[in-house]
Chain A
Amino acid sequence: MCHRRWVPELIIVVFAVVVIGGMGSILGAIVTGFGLGVIEGLTKVFFPEASNTVIFVIMAIVLLVRPAGLFGRRA
C-alpha cells in the first residue's frame, strides 16, 4: 500500500474515476470509484497483466460513448 509510486498512480486513477463518473458528479464519483475498484480486483484475478490498464481502457470506451461521463450532464 505504501509504495513510493503509489500516490502519483492513485491521483491519476482518481482523475480517471472522476472523468468516467462525470466531472462534478458526486454520485458518479462514488459509484464509479467502487465499481472500478472491483473491476480492477477481478482483472487481477483473471488477467493480471491488464490490471493497470483496464481503468484507462474503460475510460476511453466511456468517453467514446458518453463524453460527459456516466453521470455527468452535458454543458
Chain B
Amino acid sequence: MIEIFGIPSQALFGQLLIGLINGSFYALLSLGLAVIFGMLNIINFSHGAQYMMGAFAAYLILQYSGLGYWPALIIAPILVGITGIISRTSVPSAAIQARPSLWSAAHVWSGFDLRGRRAQLLRIRRFALYGARVAAWRAESRLHVPSELSRLGHCGFARHLHRDLVCNRAHAARRVPARRHREPDAGARLRHQCAAHDHAHLRLRRGARRICRRDGGADLQCVTADGFRN
C-alpha cells in the first residue's frame, strides 16, 4: 500500500473527501451569513433555523406521507418557502402592535421589501439602532416610518401580501422612492464647495473633475467640506 508522509493513502484520501464534504457544508451555511451581513450589516443566524426546518420537513414527508425520497426533496423546500412567506407577512401584523421594535426583527428575519432597497436598509439600520425608541427616532429623522408602522400594524395577511407583491413591485418599477427616502444629511454631504467661488456644486462621482461654469468653463478644482479634492 502506498504511504504518504507515513499515512496510508486510502486513509488520507478518505479524510480528504470527508474534509471536502464538511467544507461544502461550511461554504453553504456561511454563504447565508455572508449574504445577509453583506446586505444588512447585521449578523443573522435565522437561516440556520430555516435549514433545520427543511430537514425536519423532509423527514416528516418521508416518514408519514408515504412519498419517496425525490418527491420529498422537491416538496420540502416548497413547504419551507411557504413558511418563510407566512412568517414574513404575519409576524409584523401580529406582533408590532404589542412591541414596535419587532418590526426590525421581522424584516431582518425574513428579508426586506422590494420598494426602495436603500431606503429600506436605512430604516432597518435605524430600527436596529433605536429599537423601541420610535418616538426619539421620529424626532431625529424625517423618514415616514411611524406611519408605515401603524399601517403595518393594522393590515391583515392578504393586504400585506398585496402590498408586497403588487404595490411595492409597481413602486420599484417606477424607481421613485430611493431619492425621496434619502436622509436629510445625505444631500448635504453630496454637495461640495468650490474653493475659487465659494459656492456649492453637486458632486458627480468620486474622482470626477468638475468644471466651474462661473469662470467661463475653466477647469477648476473644487474642494469638499472635508477637504476631498476631485
A37's nearest neighbour on chain B, judged by CB, is: B23
* Contact stretch, chosen from B14-22, B133-141, B162-170, B195-203: B14-22
**Per-residue contact bits, chain B 1-39, to A (CB 8 Å; 1 contact, 0 not):** 000010100011001111111111111111101110110
- Is B29 in contact with A36, judged by CB distance below 8 angstroms? no
B7's nearest neighbour on chain A, judged by CB, is: A45
**Per-residue contact bits, chain A 3-31, to B (CB 8 Å; 1 contact, 0 not):** 00001001101110110010111101110
Q: Within 8 Å CB of A46, what residues of B? A: 5, 7
A61 interface residue, CB < 8 Å from B? no
- Is A34 in contact with B23, judged by CB distance below 8 angstroms? yes
B48 interface residue, CB < 8 Å from A? yes
8 Å CB contact of B34 from A7, A29, A37, A44: A29
B36's nearest neighbour on chain A, judged by CB, is: A24
8 Å CB contact of A24 from B25, B27, B34: B34
Q: Which of B41-66 contact A (CB under 8 A)?
A: 41, 43, 45, 48, 52
Q: Which of A31-47 contact B (CB under 8 A)?
A: 32-42, 44-46
Query: Complex: how many Å from CA A18 to CA B37?
Result: 10
Query: Complex: how many Å from CA A10 to CA B22?
Result: 10
8 Å CB contact of A36 from B7, B11, B17, B23: B23
- Is B33 in contact with A18, judged by CB distance below 8 angstroms? yes
8 Å CB contact of A33 from B30, B35, B52: B30
Count of chain A residues with a beta carbon within 8 Å of a chain B beta carbon: 30
- Is B22 in contact with A32, judged by CB distance below 8 angstroms? no
A69's nearest neighbour on chain B, judged by CB, is: B34
**Per-residue contact bits, chain A 35-75, to B (CB 8 Å; 1 contact, 0 not):** 11111111011100000000000000000000000000000
Q: Within 8 Å CB of A29, what residues of B? A: 27, 30-31, 33-34
Q: How far is the CB of B4 from chain A (nearest CB, A)?
A: 9
Q: How far is the CB of B112 from chain A (nearest CB, A)?
A: 16
8 Å CB contact of A41 from B20, B29, B30, B38: B20
Known contacts A37-B23, A39-B19, A41-B16; decide if A25 and B38 are in contact (CB<8 Å).
Answer: yes
List 26 interface pairs A-B (beta carbons < 8 Å), by A numbering: A13-B26, A14-B26, A14-B33, A17-B30, A21-B34, A24-B37, A24-B41, A26-B31, A29-B34, A30-B31, A32-B30, A33-B27, A34-B27, A37-B19, A37-B21, A37-B25, A37-B27, A38-B16, A38-B19, A38-B23, A40-B19, A41-B15, A41-B16, A41-B19, A44-B19, A45-B7
Beyond the given A38-B20, A42-B19, please list 4 additional residue pairs across the A-B interface where CB-CB is below 8 A: A21-B34, A26-B35, A33-B28, A37-B24
Interface of A with B (CB < 8 Å)? 7, 10-11, 13-15, 17-18, 21, 23-26, 28-30, 32-42, 44-46
Interface of B with A (CB < 8 Å)? 5, 7, 11-12, 15-31, 33-35, 37-38, 41, 43, 45, 48, 52
